[in-house]
Amino acid sequence: MATNEKAVMKEEKDPSKLTIKKEPDQGENKKRNRTRGKAVKNDKTEMKPITQYFPLRRSTRRVKSLMEEEKTSEIIRKLEHKIEDGLKVIETDGKGRGVVATRTFHKDELICEYSGELISYREAVQREQEYSKDSGIGCYMYYFEFQSKKLCVDATTDNKRMGRLVNHSKTKPNVITKLIPVEDHPYLCLMAARTVSPGEELVYDYGERKKDIIKHHQWLTS
Amino acid sequence: MFEARLIQGSVLKKMIDAIKDIVTDINLDCSSTGISVQAMDSGHVCLVLIELGSDGFEPYRCDRNITLGLGLKALSVVVRCANNDDSITIKAQEGTDNINFVFESPNGEKTSQFEIKLMDIDSEHLGIPDTEYDSVVKMPSHEFQRICRDMSQLGDSIVVACTKDGIQFSASGDMGSGKINLRQSSLVDKEEDQINIELNDPVHLTFALRYLNYFTKATPLSPTVTLSLKAESPLCVTYPIGDFGSMKFFLAPKIDDEDTAAATQE
């Protein structure tokens, strides 16, 4: 292996100003990002930088607060753009319409918003009385408390959104509701309570505990 | 604490000589399994990947993962001070911003110590996917060096075409053109003189000779070189380092006119 060049030993110090840097392990990211070479008509042939073929790999170790922030901004983005992907409306046996997942939802991932008209408690009570006269209208009132005010989202009107169609399960819910305020506007969000696989029906606990109501709606105990 | 002793110090010299024209700074990513280096040239056209397993060092100690940023100029100056048969020990203490190099002559009569300040190098790590290449050609490294050198007299780029008949290198320019064909060798005295072609699919790719001529500076590292080719993907030129590591160069192909594009589709 040795070549015949000879080097002279001498003490030498490098004067450049340098500092130490420590870096944690790099996470594995085998994602492929191959760009298809489109022929470029040119006198000179073109060459793409290597970064076009090999994706930049960032350290997977991130500060927890940063990750939280990223998650929240993603949720806000989905809420503001009314993004409801990976969901499908189905016709269930005996429960009317329901919603199933068409992709995997990870725990704590936003599934969709329970979207409707945000009204005051008083208004809601009045409307509910109104609605109860017509047996054809189901119950789509979701009561909650926000900034110590009682409010309600009324989703009685079919607004083509998924949230209002998610069915109830007290015993085996895979979705929980969470109130997420975005600039003082409360969003009622349906979040995955655990990992939800594609094909699973999404269900959450409607939270009704009043005896007389449960008596009339036996399905609330399921 | 990081400490690694390379018995054959000349390997380090050769590695640095091979990359010092391409990159200016490198990060040595040291972990318990070994040392790895990933670096790009300033134009981000090619990528150098060095991997050295811990078993190539005696002793090797890396208490925790550490990244050592080094300027190649300084490194080159220091390493040039080592004799070829010296062993080289690299040491870095935690909490300091220096890296130490100790050269020891085989008879132990002479030891030299050097210290380089570490640099904080912004490293961009690329994820190199596991690729199934269409053609993998193993050949004597000096042969490949010769071909690249000869072809660069003719033109700026080299066309590498791999078929079941062998591998063809060609270049053309104002002066004229040239072609070199290599066939899989059947009988050779030395294994390292063998030309071995593993072909899944024929490929036809064009590369900038300027970069290949940089890569072939690694020729002293190994008697053999492996060219891994895949349509529309970067070429991978691999020089094994002993049995414990490798130096790889990646270079994106030149995108040619439709002829080449059509040929690569075959």
Spatial separation of the C-alpha atoms in residues B126 and A30, rounded to whole Å: 10
Residue A51 lies in a domain: no
Q: Please report, rounded to a whole number, the percentage of residues in chain A having pLDDT higher than 90.
A: 2
What's the domain range around A144?
A: 116-158
Out of A2, A16, A56, the one facing B126 most closely (by C-beta) is: A56
Residues B149 and B39 in one domain: no
Q: Residue A65's pLDDT is what?
A: 61
- Residue of chain A with shortest Cα separation from B47: A50
Q: Residue B262's pLDDT is what?
A: 46
Q: Residue A33's pLDDT is what?
A: 38
Residue B36 lies in a domain: yes
Residues B210 and B157 in one domain: yes
- Residue of chain B with shortest Cα separation from A58: B125
Out of B45, B71, B256, the one facing A50 most closely (by C-beta) is: B45
A5 touches chain B (CB under 8 A): yes
Residues B148 and B205 in one domain: yes
CATH code (residue A93): 2.170.270.10
Tell me how many domains chain A contains. 2
Residue B123 lies in a domain: no
> A58 pLDDT band (50/70/90 cuts)?
low
Q: Residue B263's pLDDT is what?
A: 46
Determine the distance in angstroms separating the CA of A61 from the nearest CA of chain B, rounded to an integer: 14
Q: Residue A43's pLDDT is what?
A: 38
Q: Taking CB atoms and an 8 Å cutoff, what residues of chain A touch B206?
A: 45
Residues A107 and A206 in one domain: yes
pLDDT at residue B53 above 70?
yes
Residue A107 lies in a domain: yes
Q: Residue A22's pLDDT is what?
A: 41
pLDDT at residue A61 above 80?
no
Out of A41-45, A193-197, B219-223, B248-252, least confident range: A41-45
Out of A3, A9, A48, the one facing B112 most closely (by C-beta) is: A9
CA distances from B109 to A8, A81, A183 (A): 15, 74, 74
Q: Residue A10's pLDDT is what?
A: 41
Spatial separation of the C-alpha atoms in residues A181 and A23, rounded to whole Å: 37
- Which of B60, B83, B117 corresponds to the end of one domain? B117
CATH code (residue B149): 3.70.10.10
pLDDT at residue A78 above 90?
no
Residue B125 lies in a domain: no
User: Which residues does residue B224 pair with via DSSP β-bridges, in sequence order?
Assistant: B140
Q: Residue A129's pLDDT is what?
A: 85
ipTM: 0.77
Residues A176 and A192 in one domain: yes
Tell me how many domains chain B contains. 2
By C-alpha distance, which of B76, B74, B105 is closest to B88? B105
More confident residue, A46 or B174: B174
Residues A165 and A187 in one domain: yes
Q: Residue A68's pLDDT is what?
A: 74
Residues A108 and A120 in one domain: no
Q: Please report, rounded to a whole number, the percentage of residues in chain B having pLDDT higher than 70.
A: 96
DSSP assignments along B99-166, one per residue: EEEEEE-TTSS-EEEEEEE-------EE-------SEEEEEEHHHHHHHHHHHHTT-SEEEEEEETTE
3-class secondary-structure state, position A88: strand
By C-alpha distance, which of B239, B262, B263 is closest to B249? B239
Q: Residue A23's pLDDT is what?
A: 42
Q: Residue B220's pLDDT is what?
A: 95
Helical pair B72-79 and B9-19, crossing angle rounded to 10 deg: 140
Stretch B50-73: mean pLDDT, rounded? 92
- Hey, are the CB atoms on B234 and A2 less than 8 Å from each other? no
Q: Please report, rounded to a whole number, the percentage of residues in chain A having pLDDT higher than 70.
A: 75
A49 touches chain B (CB under 8 A): yes
More confident residue, B207 or A128: B207
Encoded tokens for A215: 């008596």
pLDDT in tens, A197-206: 898 899 988 8
- Hey, are the CB atoms on B119 and A10 less than 8 Å from each other? no
Residues B144 and B258 in one domain: yes
Encoded tokens for B70: 């080094």
Spatial separation of the C-alpha atoms in residues B226 and B230, rounded to whole Å: 13
Residue A1 lies in a domain: no
Instruction: Evaluate whether A111 touches A191 at the Cβ level (below 8 Å).
Output: yes
Stretch B34-44: mean pLDDT, rounded? 91
Residues B102 and B204 in one domain: no
Out of A207-221, B115-129, B134-148, least confident range: A207-221
pLDDT in tens, A139-194: 788 888 888 888 888 888 888 888 888 888 888 889 988 888 888 888 888 999 89
Residue B229 lies in a domain: yes
Residues A125 and A185 in one domain: no
Best mean pLDDT range from A84-98, B230-244, B247-261: B230-244
What's the domain range around B12?
A: 2-117
> B252 pLDDT band (50/70/90 cuts)?
very high
